[in-house]
Amino acid sequence: MASRKAPARTAGLRTVLEVFLIFLRLGLTSFGGPVAHLAFFREEFVSRRRWLDDHAYGSLVALCQFLPGPASSQVGIALGLSRGGIPGALAAWLGFTLPSAALMMLFALGVASFPTVLSGGWLHGLKIAAVAVVAQAVWAMGKSLAPDRARFSLAAAACGVVVAWPSATAQIVAIVVGGLFGWRFLPGAQAGGKDALRMVSGGRWLSTAAWTLFFALLAGLPLLRALAPGEGVAVFDSFYRAGSLVFGGGHVVLPLLQAEVVPAGWVTENAFLAGYGAAQAVPGPLFTFAGYLGASVPGAWGGWPGGLLALGAIFLPAFLLVVGALPVWEAVREHRPARCAIAGINAAVVGVLLAALYHPVWTGAIARPPDFAMALGAWVLLMFWKVPPWLVVALCAAGGAMLGGPA
């Protein structure tokens, strides 16, 4: 009997290790911010590995746009969760987060000297690579999720709304309106046939436990901080609250973090801005900026302990929200009216990504004719020559270094 159980345990460990290594590679090569991360994920898990189809992926992106926290990290956590349960979710998060988190904490400790290279052309080349990667994802998702006149028009309208009203609220409004449009006007639409995002184990009870813990910590940490003041509790409370209350992720969390760490005297204004600049030069999620801030806290909770504590606190809400929401989302997808609404939501997601392709991805990278030429070449390599994204990123970094940054 024991010999029969061992292979299943080994297979489970193998799956978790596979998830970790895949996301570690993505964490080392995914430059360009959250929208580029979603494009890298789509290429890896929809096009290459076929863990899920465009419809399931589009609805997952929509779900994570609704939830507070870093959308790209939450998509990664959900993919790991569906592949290997809670261990798979942890492996996906750790692999994707580890490279940039380690670099940011090293920078805080003074081991690296990123400010001297932030103006280098290689960094501009990485931004150009992000244009090509995001454009490839928008093209492919548009063909799959907005294939007809009604859904293409819906995607275009969502894009127009988000471009004209650039905020996280506009993205949520566009997705909600897209869902209502799909529910009312797309009665024959299907949300897709490959439902690959089911939790391996736990299901509803685990979802309930995650929601309970999320709200208990959100309400209880400020009370604990008042009753038992201490630097460690204060750091955990500040970063947990920032991760729980930010919609739009990425750059949107910066004002919340600034309000928590600068007035408290943990980090100076200049140090805050220097760390933010360094965060632009590393791959992976921008939320790893918390590792830099935590490592910069003076006293016993500075250095590695503070960095790890801040990272765990700011990402914990994202983890709990995905574990809590995914079973509910998948149950909703079973109902036909909801599937029609999701068809509209998916089309709106294409529009939201198209708007992000314009700003900030395009506007932040394409400043002169050579930039456009490099982006076009990278897009052709991705679309028609099927060159791996990591290699395109490396080529663009080298090209940017040769051309130099924009004047």
User: What is the chain's alpha carbon radius of gyration, rounded to the nearest angstrom?
Assistant: 21
Residue 131 · residue 362 · CB < 8 Å: yes
CA angle 168, 170, 176 (to 5 degrees): 105
Residue 208 is inside which H or E element, if any?
helix 203-227
Asked if residue 210 lies in contact with residue 324, where contact means CB atoms within 8 angstroms, the answer is yes
Question: Residue 361: helix, strand or coil by DSSP?
Answer: helix
> Which of 394, 54, 302 is closest to 292 using CA atoms?
302
Q: What is the DSSP letter of 296?
A: T
CA 388 to CA 15: how far, in whole Å?
23
pLDDT of residue 9: 41
Whole-number Å distance between alpha carbons of 33 and 12: 31
How many angstroms separate the CA atoms of 145 and 152, rounded? 8
Chain centroid to Cα 169, Å, comes to 17
Q: For residues 157 and 153, what is the distance between their CA atoms, to the nearest angstrom?
A: 6
Which amino acid is located at 102 in the chain? A
Q: Phi and psi of 267, rounded to 5°?
A: -140, 140
Cβ atoms of 295 and 302 within 8 Å: the answer is: yes
Give the pLDDT of residue 279: 79
* Tokens coding 396: 């663009």
Kindly write down the DSSP assignment for every residue of 16-64, as one continuous string: HHHHHHHHHHHHHH--S-HHHHHHHHIIIIIIIS-SS-HHHHHHHHHHH
Domain ranges of the chain: 203-320
| The predicted structure's pLDDT at residue 59 | 87
The DSSP H or E segment spanning 149 is: helix 149-164
Give the CA distances from residue 2 to residues 6, 11, 236, in Å, rounded to whole numbers and listed in that order. 6, 15, 43
The conformational region for residue 248 under phi > 0 = left, psi -120 to 50 = alpha, else beta, is left
The phi and psi torsions of 380 (rounded to 5 degrees) equal -65, -40
Kindly report the pTM of this predicted structure: 0.82
Q: What is the pLDDT of residue 121?
A: 82
- Residues in contact with 374: Cβ distance below 8 Å, sequence separation at least 6, in sequence order: 125, 128, 396, 399, 400, 403
pLDDT (tens digit, 0 to 9) for every residue of the chain, 407 residues total? 444 444 444 448 999 999 999 999 999 988 878 888 999 999 999 999 999 989 889 989 988 888 888 989 999 999 999 898 999 999 999 999 999 999 999 988 875 444 555 556 887 888 888 889 889 889 988 988 899 999 999 999 999 999 999 877 788 899 899 999 999 888 655 544 445 566 555 578 889 999 999 999 999 999 999 998 888 999 999 999 999 987 655 666 777 788 888 888 898 887 887 777 677 778 899 899 999 999 988 877 778 999 999 999 999 999 999 999 988 887 777 777 888 888 898 899 899 889 888 987 898 889 999 999 999 999 999 999 988 888 888 899 899 989 887 76
Contact indicator for 64, 197 with CB cutoff of 8 Å: no
Q: Strand, coil or helix: what is 391?
A: helix
Q: How many CB atoms lie within 10 A of CB 91?
A: 24
